[in-house]
């Protein structure tokens, strides 16, 4: 499937709040181009932040975000 189509699917899943489906798409995809990786990386981390905030019931601080990043590293498809 074309990279732009896959990226559009990821964006749609993110906007709908279907984070598990978004994660599955990114984890099963081939490597994305360098131009699109920053956007996908931001969505990956933001989705994990949102989920963690919902569980904790409060906003995440810098240390919390660092911990989320360590717990949920970027998949190879969106990391060099």
Number of domains within the chain: 1
Output the pLDDT for position 6: 95
CA distance linking residue 79 with residue 58, whole number of Å? 29
Tell me, yes or no, whether 42 lies in a domain: yes
- Calculate the alpha carbon distances from 28 to 6, 32, 33, 57, 78 in Å: 11, 12, 15, 30, 11
Tell me, yes or no, whether 66 lies in a domain: yes
Tell me, yes or no, whether 31 lies in a domain: yes
Give the position of tokens 């990114």.
Answer: 26
CB 40 within 8 A of CB 56: no
Output the pLDDT for position 80: 74
Instruction: Determine the structural domain holding residue 54 and report its residue range.
Output: 3-75
Tell me, yes or no, whether 80 lies in a domain: no
Instruction: Give the tens place of pLDDT for each residue, 14-69.
Output: 999 999 999 999 999 999 999 999 999 999 999 999 999 999 999 999 999 999 99
CB 27 within 8 A of CB 69: no
**Which sign, positive or negative, has the C-alpha torsion 22, 28, 33, 34?**
positive
Tell me, yes or no, whether 18 lies in a domain: yes
């Amino acid at each position: 499937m074309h990279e732009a189509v896959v990226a559009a699917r990821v964006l749609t899943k993110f906007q709908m709040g279907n984070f598990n489906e978004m994660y599955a798409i990114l984890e099963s995809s081939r490597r994305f181009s360098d131009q699109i990786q920053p956007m996908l990386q931001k969505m990956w981390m933001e989705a994990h932040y949102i989920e963690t905030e919902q569980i904790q019931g409060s906003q995440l601080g810098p240390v919390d975000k660092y911990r989320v990043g360590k717990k949920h590293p970027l998949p190879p498809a969106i990391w060099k």
